[in-house]
Amino acid sequence: MARRARLILCSGKGGTGKSTVAAAIGTHFSSEGKRVLLVSSDPTRSLSGIFDRRIGGNVTKIGPNLYAVELDVEKIAKMVESEYRKIFIDTLASWLDEEIIEDLPVEILSGVDELFALDKIRHFVERGYDVVVWDTSPTAYTLRLLSLSQKISGAVSRSLGLYVRLAHPLETIKAWLKRKPEPEIIRAFKKLGQVTSKIEKMLSDVRTEFILILNPEKLSISEGKQLQEAAEKYNITVKRVVVNKMLLPCKCRFCTLKRNEQQRNLEVIRKEYGDLKLLTVPYLPHEVISKKRVEEYAGKLFED
Ligand SMILES: Nc1ncnc2c1ncn2[C@@H]1O[C@H](COP(=O)(O)OP(=O)(O)O)[C@@H](O)[C@H]1O
Ligand SMILES: [Mg+2]
């Protein structure tokens, strides 16, 4: 089996700095000579923005040892649509009662496209990189993605049981008499089951790490909490929290007030995440766009 990369998920509320931290982590490890892939599943294509070049759906070399790809979730959804929907709906329609069909394909298919986005990441993790950094999409989407594999494995086993009880014995006998291959739907179910269990294994592996990116703000903290709980529910290790955009001391009234608020929120974070490693990064007087800025940011992130 190919060697498996360390997988680092960067997660947090929109705008907190997920893409910036992901880019910085990637830049840091690649500068140490590790082969790194940055993967984004956010439709806003922020990696292209940060590195000021079109990255898109194909793995693109963006520096020594550093590669990037922006998953085309819509394209994946289309693939799933053409491959699975037809198999499920057509086959089930010919075998099962209408009542059962009504719930079944919907339950299974909602989320299958996202499942395949996760499976794409799994492929990257097994493709010879040392580190894969996943710049995740906004909170709600990530939460759904994380709960998905469990939901799907439940749906698959329920549907498979149902199918076996209702239609499969007859189909198996027919197939056996005619020496036909295994029905397409059984193969599709089995494949979904396999994909799901491989993803669960990848997420709960010790080489998978979840980094929570927060700003010293109440809303960012509460969304972060939700994400951390979801990650732990799916056995993903959460070790580090980055508190990004901390104001540096300044005498002006605005900065003083804002900084006091930030410090109070930082205290809340310290209490909530006392057992995790906390890294703070200052609010820089410019956006983190361009390789040079990302390197500068990485320097601050990896300071200690
Ligand atoms: N420490 C920082 N100082 C200044 N600007 C920052 C800092 N961290 C992130 N930014 C900027 O904030 C914006 C949002 O960051 P981004 O990484 O795109 O967030 P996310 O991926 O979580 O939506 C970007 O314009 C980025 O350059
Ligand atoms: Mg982003």
Position 160 scores a pLDDT of 61
Residue 93 lies in a domain: no
Residue 273 lies in a domain: yes
pLDDT in tens, the chain (304 residues): 558 999 999 999 889 999 999 999 999 999 999 999 999 987 778 899 999 999 999 999 999 999 999 988 778 777 766 776 666 666 656 655 555 555 554 445 555 666 777 888 999 999 999 999 999 876 656 666 666 555 555 666 666 666 555 555 566 656 656 666 666 767 777 777 788 788 888 888 999 999 999 999 999 999 999 888 888 887 888 889 999 999 999 999 999 999 999 999 999 999 999 889 999 999 999 999 999 999 999 999 998 7
Residue 94 lies in a domain: no
Residue whose CA is at the smallest distance from ligand 1 atom 2: 283
Residue 173 lies in a domain: no
Determine whether the shortest distance from the Cβ of 14 to ligand 1 is under 6 A: yes
181-210 burial string, b = 16+ CB within 10 Å, else e?
Answer: eebebbebbeebeebbebbbebbebeebbb
Position 227 scores a pLDDT of 87
Determine whether the shortest distance from the Cβ of 68 to ligand 1 is under 6 A: no
Residue 192 lies in a domain: no
Determine whether the shortest distance from the Cβ of 16 to ligand 1 is under 6 A: yes
Number of domains in the chain: 1
Position 59 scores a pLDDT of 96
Which ligand does the CA of 215 lie closest to?
1
50 CA distance to ligand 1 middle (Å): 10
Determine whether the shortest distance from the Cβ of 15 to ligand 1 is under 6 A: yes
Residue 58 lies in a domain: yes
Instruction: Tell me which residue range forms the domain holding 125.
Output: 6-74+120-144+206-301
Residue 297 lies in a domain: yes
Position 105 scores a pLDDT of 47
Task: Return the CATH number at 57.
Answer: 3.40.50.300
Position 156 scores a pLDDT of 61
Q: Which of 38, 48, 227, 288 to mutate to test the pocket of ligand 1 (most atoms within 8 A of CB)?
A: 288
Which ligand does the CA of 42 lie closest to?
2
Position 50 scores a pLDDT of 97
17 CA distance to ligand 2 middle (Å): 7
DSSP string covering the chain? -----EEEEEE-STTSSHHHHHHHHHHHHHHTT--EEEEE--TT-HHHHHHTS--TTS-EEEETTEEEEE--HHHHHHHHIIIIIHHHHHHHHHHS-HHHHHHHHHHHHTTHHHHHHHHHHHHHHTTT-SEEEEE---HHHHHHHHHHHHHHHHHHHHHHHHHHHHTHHHHHHHHHHHTPPSPHHHHHHHHHHHHHHHHHHHHHSTTEEEEEEE-SSHHHHHHHHHHHHHHHHTT-EEEEEEEEEEPPP--SHHHHHHHHHHHHHHHHHHHHTTTSEEEEEEPPSS---SHHHHHHHHHHHT--
**What residues contact 123, with CB distance under 8 A and at least 6 apart?**
none
